[in-house]
Structure 1
């Protein structure tokens, strides 16, 4: 459970950042530093598959010694609760339950040495903000989401399709909705670069058609009336010209999609039944199919999440082993099929698919061995019940990231973690800053791409200092 004082400070900082963004002067595009040569892009689109909540590396793509459950076992002997399975790469193993992904890892890159800072307190909201924006909160500037930077730098591939689409995250009923909203925005770049949200993949068509019973003409009239209301809003009148124009452009973009043939991409019923059956492992599986259809229609950046909800899904503070028994089948087949479908359609070479999470998990430690947090679910020294068997506590010393297509090397395993607890990174650490720089580089965007906000530079990577990891790029 979070420290309330830290959370309040965090939200206050984000509120200030939002206000500063609203009244900011028009951001001015900065030139990339002259020392950066022109970058030949290897990717045109990105699909970010987000394992919200904290995916344990030792239970997925970096398994360690397996110790099966038995009452009375010592918890400090448990490194992995699943046995290892072979993959398409000789000598490389995954955790049991990821057989489909294991069979295609030769088509992509596995990073085993992704490291994130503990940021003082290891909180989901802070780490998700840091990962998605590249900046540690709180800030006096509303940091844009990585997808917003890409949308700003490259624009839409298809004018009718939003450049940044977010699939699968619902805010309603989520106890951390405000924290999630804080980084799912265009930030200081403006509203037009924020995400087009599709909370429920199986209801995606609702986002791109008028309400039931309303004709297109009636909807058009209502849209024009709504535009006038927005333009006359006292709040908008106080905003800068740039922010006003950006908000209105975002509304125009959404309206353009509703009246475009590209809206058919949101209709999963257009797929053959046999394809629907392969993907339909739940909301995330349906989201993988929707992501593929949107890339086919020219989407630039898509984030698809397993959905972050406190203490659910990958937020495994209890029953770690039992929860992963359910989670793995939900992601394994759909992600593998997404890669195969993109490859079959000739889209994988120019589409970068990334699988990541805000941090990893360990049975014994909270970030580092001497930092035990009493608010977390207590871990007994001796395990008597299955609910204590699994990776439960937040861990920032290592993590796994998968990359397919878009210029990522094929069949590469990068970095290494220790074989004994704590299973931290011991070779080739990859930080968030450098990972973002690598992603942007693949798209032809330098780490120094940025804008002027409040008469100071603000960059797509923290302080413009990101360095692409050249070994990851084919």
Structure 2
């Protein structure tokens, strides 16, 4: 812990402050050393990590079953082992579901963590936990939507640090984007859902992700797994009008109006909330009027054969979009494979959609992404994470539907120095519990930060002024890296 004595920092011999001391002092804002001036800590962290210039987070919301993906138990009792058969992969000892053949063929590029585990057995809370590394403060059943009190997502912390490096101004392209929609946008539910976990939370709206929007045809449509036309794959910036009337000149007029509003407001008195909102809107306008952004969001620039390889469904094209965005300079891109019909990966009823739609589309997109990144020389500097927020109960119903089971579920990590063809963790005979120490969301967050060269011990100030660690208690999984 940082020691303060008569206004001086505890130092190493020769007057050099330790790396941890600099981090903690910067995070606490001590002695005038604000966070922007402590960002050298991010450079120091790259000495032991930091190969990942960017992260692509494929979030399979709803909770894929461990028993139908990467932890198959063909010798388990009939009520547990599942309806699908295992196939061999390029990883010794790793048996993968028969409906993931393309993924099995590239398993030498990724590592499977079999022992992800937490105790928030709920979608919203689980999604918050996985994307932030912090447990949600809303009790199970007490809410579904994001709140301003939530912990900032990993992507929002990356965005925040990027803005601090540039003196508080967002770059032309953001550090953090979410595609194809904010989590919950297409879900059919009794209220409009904006699931927690992907936002700036108490860090403020200014570090929320820039999010695209892609609509479905009607209430019964699931675009995540059906082929879509180029006319449907709009990837418009969420919150800005679209259509033929949206021209660069019109956007410039909108910006001029926004600037005039800012001038008028400044004469009336400042408002932090309005200022943050204005900056967020300004950034969206800058993005959509930028030639660089329009180029990055133009999927039709990709060869047809490559688009076919990813799959013409929304998940496949969104995964390809993520590759285009990180290639353009975005540091953290989350791709949601969301529930639309109320179930999808949340497969309580049966395994039919899992077999026919979910596994094949995930198989197509994940395998294509890894090969594409490798061929472009980007895999060594891009961390790919693919997972859900929970697993499924070992015991299934008669039609092979399974309920929530956050006690055990898998995660796939690749790139940025992750040892391909490896498996971390052992599970029991029913894929119910970890036999080796479980891997927590805190561990996952610490690992992602470490891979990006951001020290997990960095501290930020909450609105009340209390310095808090970006990860509390997690450890980077160094054994993942070769």
What range describes the TM-score normalised by the shorter chain of this pair?
Answer: 0.7 to 0.9
Coordinate RMSD, CA, aligned: 3.1
Return closer, same or farther for 1:411/1:428 CA change in 2, 3 Å cut-off: farther
Equivalenced residue count is 410
Alignment of 1:24-423 (within 5 A): 29=35, 38-40=45-47, 41-65=50-74, 77-117=79-119, 119=120, 122-138=121-137, 141-155=149-163, 159-169=171-181, 171=185, 174-175=188-189, 180-200=194-214, 202-205=233-236, 211-229=243-261, 239-240=271-272, 243-262=273-292, 263-309=294-340, 311-364=342-395, 379=397, 383=398, 388-390=399-401, 392-420=402-430, 423=432
User: Bigger CA drift: 154-163 or 46-55?
Assistant: 154-163
Give yes or no for contact 1:81–1:321 (8 Å, CA) kept in 2.
no
Q: Which of 440, 452, 455 in structure 1 is aligned with 2:465?
A: 455
Give yes or no for contact 2:297–2:325 (8 Å, CA) kept in 1.
yes
Give yes or no for contact 1:86–1:93 (8 Å, CA) kept in 2.
yes
Give yes or no for contact 2:187–2:339 (8 Å, CA) kept in 1.
no
CA distance in 2 between partners of 1:175 and 1:43 (Å): 37
Give yes or no for contact 1:227–1:248 (8 Å, CA) kept in 2.
no
CA distance in 1 between partners of 2:428 and 2:466 (Å): 42
SS in 2 for 1:288: helix
Return closer, same or farther for 1:32/1:469 CA change in 2, 3 Å cut-off: farther
Structure 1, gaps ≥5 residues long: 1-27, 68-74, 366-378
Give yes or no for contact 1:191–1:246 (8 Å, CA) kept in 2.
yes
Give yes or no for contact 2:57–2:334 (8 Å, CA) kept in 1.
yes
C-alpha displacement of 1:284: 0.2
Give yes or no for contact 2:79–2:395 (8 Å, CA) kept in 1.
no
C-alpha displacement of 1:253: 2.3
C-alpha displacement of 1:470: 1.2
Return closer, same or farther for 1:215/1:42 CA change in 2, 3 Å cut-off: closer
Return closer, same or farther for 1:310/1:276 CA change in 2, 3 Å cut-off: closer
Give yes or no for contact 2:210–2:237 (8 Å, CA) kept in 1.
no
SS in 1 for 2:194: helix
Give yes or no for contact 1:147–1:164 (8 Å, CA) kept in 2.
yes
Aligned to 2:26: none
CA distance in 2 between partners of 1:29 and 1:282 (Å): 42
CA distance in 1 between partners of 2:283 and 2:414 (Å): 30
Return closer, same or farther for 1:470/1:452 CA change in 2, 3 Å cut-off: same
TM-score, normalising length from structure 2? 0.77
CA distance in 2 between partners of 1:76 and 1:396 (Å): 22
Give yes or no for contact 1:176–1:310 (8 Å, CA) kept in 2.
no
SS in 2 for 1:400: strand
Deviations 1:50-100 (A, max 9, x none): 010011111101111168xxxxxxx86332221000101222210111011
SS in 2 for 1:192: helix
Aligned to 2:479: 471
CA distance in 1 between partners of 2:95 and 2:441 (Å): 25
Return closer, same or farther for 1:125/1:309 CA change in 2, 3 Å cut-off: farther
TM-score, normalising length from structure 1? 0.78
C-alpha displacement of 1:348: 0.8
Deviations 1:255-294 (A, max 9, x none): 2222322221111111122122222241101111111111
SS in 1 for 2:235: helix
CA distance in 2 between partners of 1:115 and 1:325 (Å): 27
User: Bigger CA drift: 47-56 or 75-84?
Assistant: 75-84
Return closer, same or farther for 1:184/1:227 CA change in 2, 3 Å cut-off: farther
Give yes or no for contact 2:153–2:197 (8 Å, CA) kept in 1.
yes
Give yes or no for contact 2:57–2:333 (8 Å, CA) kept in 1.
yes
C-alpha displacement of 1:399: 0.9
Deviations 1:89-118 (A, max 9, x none): 22221011101111111112111111112x
